[in-house]
Structure 1
Amino acid sequence: MIQVNNTSISEAAIMAEMQYHPSNNKRSAMLKAAESLIIGELLRQRAKALGLSVKSEANHASDDNFLDALIQTEVAIPQASSQECEQYYALNPQRFASSPLLEVSHILLGAAPDDDIARVEAKALAEQLITQLQQGALLSELARQYSACPSKETGGSLGQISRGQTVPEFERQIFSAAEGLLVQPVESRYGYHIVYIARKVAGKQLPFSVVQQKIADYLNEKVRRKAVAQYIHRLIVDAQIDGYDFNLSDSPLMQ
C-alpha cells in the first residue's frame, strides 16, 4: 500500500492500473502504474485545494476532467516568439523541406524476419546478383527471375517514390544513397533488396511563412511538457509519500 499525504493507494488499484502501462516485465509495469496513480492523486489533491471540481474516486488519468484547469491556474507556460521560431527554422532546415523523389527499381529476395537461414541465403544471393549487375547483367531480367515483389512484372520498377511510401528501414537507406546501383543489399523486414536508383530529385525548402505555425505549435508543446513535468516534480518534492521512492524511478520526471 502507498500513502500520498495520508491518502491510500491500494495494491488492487495498482494492479488495475497496470493495463495502461505495458512493459517488458511485471515489476516495471507495476512501478509505472504506481507512479501514475501517485501523480494523479497529487494533482487531484492540489485541484481540490484550489477549489476545482474533482471526481471523488481515483480514476485513470484519462477520466480526469480537472487537469487542464489546474495547469492553466498553476503553471506559467510561455509562448514561442517569432524570433524563436525563425531560429529553430534556421537550425533545422532538413525538417522543412518537401520530400525528395527517387526513381527506383529493385529485386526483393524474400525471407521472413525470424528465418535466420533464409535471410543468410537471401543476402548471399543478393551479393551474387549485385556482382552480375556490375558485370553488365540487366536488372529487369534478374527481377523477373528472382524477385518476390509484384514489381518483377515491370522489370523491378517501383516508379517514383517519396518519403513515407515504403517501410522505414528500407527508406532510411535508399534516401541517403546516391544515384546508381547500391553496392550492398538493403535489408528490410521482407528480406534483402538489390536497389538501383535511376534518378534522385532533391526536395525543396519550404518558406518560413508556410511552416511558422507548425514550428510554434511544436515549440509551445515542448515547453508545456517541460513546465508540467517541473510542476509535478515540485508536487512530489513537497508531498509526504510512503511506500514508493521516486529517487529510484527511471521516470523522465526524475532525470
Structure 2
Amino acid sequence: MGITVNGIDIDDALIEQELPHHQQAANPLKQSVHEVVLRTVLLQEVGRLGIEGSDDDARIEALLAREVRVPEADLAACETYYRNHPRQFTRGELVEARHILFQVTPSVPLELVRGTAEAILEAIKAEPARFGELAAQYSNCSSGAVGGSLGQLARGACVPEFDDVLFRLGAGELAGNLVETRFGLHILEVVRRIDGVVLPFDAVRSQIADYLGTAAWQRGVHQYLQILVGRARIEGITLEGSQSPLVQ
C-alpha cells in the first residue's frame, strides 16, 4: 500500500492480519491500517528506549506504564463527579411506557414514513386518548395489540437512543418529537414513573475513582500517541487522530 513509518515499510500482510479484528468498524480497512501504523510507531519507540518484555504487547504495555503518568482521582474529584451524575448511581428506577413504532424499510421512502409518523404524533397531541387506538392501527411493533404498552422498563433495558428520551420524560408526558432509533421512528409516552434510590457516595466511591482513573489514563495515552505520531515521519497515509483500541 506504499505506507512507511520512519522509513520502514508497512507490510500488507500485517494489515490483512489486523483486518478481522475491526469488522464492526465503519471502515474496517482504514481502521486496520491506522492500528498497524500506531502499533509500529509504539514498537519503534520501544526499540529506541530499549524496553524489554516477553512479547510486543508486553513491551508496549511497559512503554505506556513508563511514559504515561496520570494522577489518581482524589476525594474532591470523586465527590464532584458523584454530585453531577446522580442518575448514574440510581438503582430501582422504573418507567411504565408505551410507544408506536414506524419501521423504516428499504421498500418505503424514509420521508413517507416520517410524514405519516409526524401526522399521527400531532393527532395524539390533539387527542391523547387515541394513543391506544392509533398504536393498534399503525404500530409495527407487536405491542400495538395492547395499545403500544411496553410494560415497566429499567434503565438500560432499551437501546441508548430510546433509553435517553425515556428516562427524561415525566409521568404522563408524551415526547414532543419522534424518537429515532435503529429500529425506526417512535412516538413515545411515559405512563408512570417509579423513582429509584441514589446509592450513598461511600458505596460507589471506589467505582468512581476507577472510572476517573481509566478516563485520565485514556486521555494520557491519546496525548502520548499524538506526540509520537507528530514526531514520526509517516508517509502514504494521514492519521486522523491517534486514538487506538490497542491501548484503551
Instruction: Point out where structure 1 has 5 or more consecutive residues left out of the alignment.
Output: 56-62
Residue identity matched to 1:219: L
In structure 1, the residue corresponding to 2:164 is in which secondary structure? helix
1:99-178 aligned within 5 A? 100-106=93-99, 108-114=100-106, 115-116=108-109, 117-133=112-128, 137=129, 139-178=131-170
Looking at structure 1, the residues matched to 140 and 4 of structure 2 have their Cα atoms a distance apart, in angstroms, of 60
Equivalent in the alignment of 1:52 = 52
| TM-score where L is the length of structure 2 | 0.72
Tell me the CA shift for residue 89 of structure 1. 1.8
Q: Deviations over 1:110-143 (max 9, x none)?
A: 332542324422432343344333xxx4544554
Greater radius of gyration (CA): 1
Cα contact 1:80–1:216 (8 A) shared by 2: yes
Cα contact 1:85–1:216 (8 A) shared by 2: yes
Residue identity matched to 1:204: V
Instruction: Point out where structure 2 has 5 or more consecutive residues left out of the alignment.
Output: 244-248
Equivalent in the alignment of 1:243 = 235
1:1-255 aligned within 5 A? 1-10=2-11, 13-14=14-15, 17=18, 22-24=25-27, 29=30, 33-48=32-47, 49-53=49-53, 64-98=57-91, 100-106=93-99, 108-114=100-106, 115-116=108-109, 117-133=112-128, 137=129, 139-180=131-172, 182=174, 184=176, 186-189=178-181, 190-239=183-232, 241=233, 243=235, 249-252=239-242
Cα contact 2:102–2:138 (8 A) shared by 1: no
Looking at structure 2, the residues matched to 94 and 220 of structure 1 have their Cα atoms a distance apart, in angstroms, of 20
> CA 1:12/1:110 → structure 2, altered by over 3 Å: closer, same or farther?
same
Looking at structure 2, the residues matched to 187 and 87 of structure 1 have their Cα atoms a distance apart, in angstroms, of 32
Tell me the CA shift for residue 208 of structure 1. 1.0
Mean CA deviation greater in 83-92 or 214-223 = 83-92
Cα contact 1:186–1:193 (8 A) shared by 2: yes
In structure 1, the residue corresponding to 2:217 is in which secondary structure? helix
Tell me the CA shift for residue 213 of structure 1. 1.6
In structure 1, the residue corresponding to 2:73 is in which secondary structure? coil
| TM-score where L is the length of structure 1 | 0.70
Q: Deviations over 1:186-241 (max 9, x none)?
A: 334445544443322333322111211211111111221222233334444555x2
Looking at structure 1, the residues matched to 72 and 37 of structure 2 have their Cα atoms a distance apart, in angstroms, of 29
In structure 1, the residue corresponding to 2:152 is in which secondary structure? strand
| Count of aligned residue pairs for this structure pair | 235
